[in-house]
Amino acid sequence: MKVRGGCVHTVKLYVEVTPEDGGRFRAEMIVPVSDKGIARLKEGLDILVRYDPGNMRKVVFESIPDEKSAEKSRHH
């Protein structure tokens, strides 16, 4: 899809979600990604998501944290 400033692609992501309260689960989600954003996607990338605790299949993309905050969250 073309939008102002470039193209937007629809991408299916397979993610491993690690909630702050522990545990871990896998999910998939479909997200719109700009041409610029495609270059940032890679295996192992930390992203922030929201999920429904009552239905863990409902996962939505929230943001890609900057590298400093992503590194900090890995060590806490």
Summarised one tens digit per residue, pLDDT across range 18-68 is: 998 888 999 999 999 888 888 888 888 898 999 998 898 899 999 888 755
Nearest Cα to Cα of residue 61 among 8, 25, 17: 17
Q: What is the DSSP string of 25-70?
A: EEEEEEEEEEHHHHTT--TT---EEEEETTEEEEEEEEE---HHHH
Q: What is the pLDDT of residue 13?
A: 92
76 pLDDT above the threshold of 90: no
Q: What is the pLDDT of residue 1?
A: 62
Q: Distance (Å, rounded) from C-alpha 31 to C-alpha 45?
A: 15
Q: What is the pLDDT of residue 20?
A: 86
CA-to-CA separations, 14 to 22, 41, 43, 68, in angstroms, rounded: 19, 12, 10, 24
| pLDDT-derived band at 75, boundaries 50, 70, 90 | very low
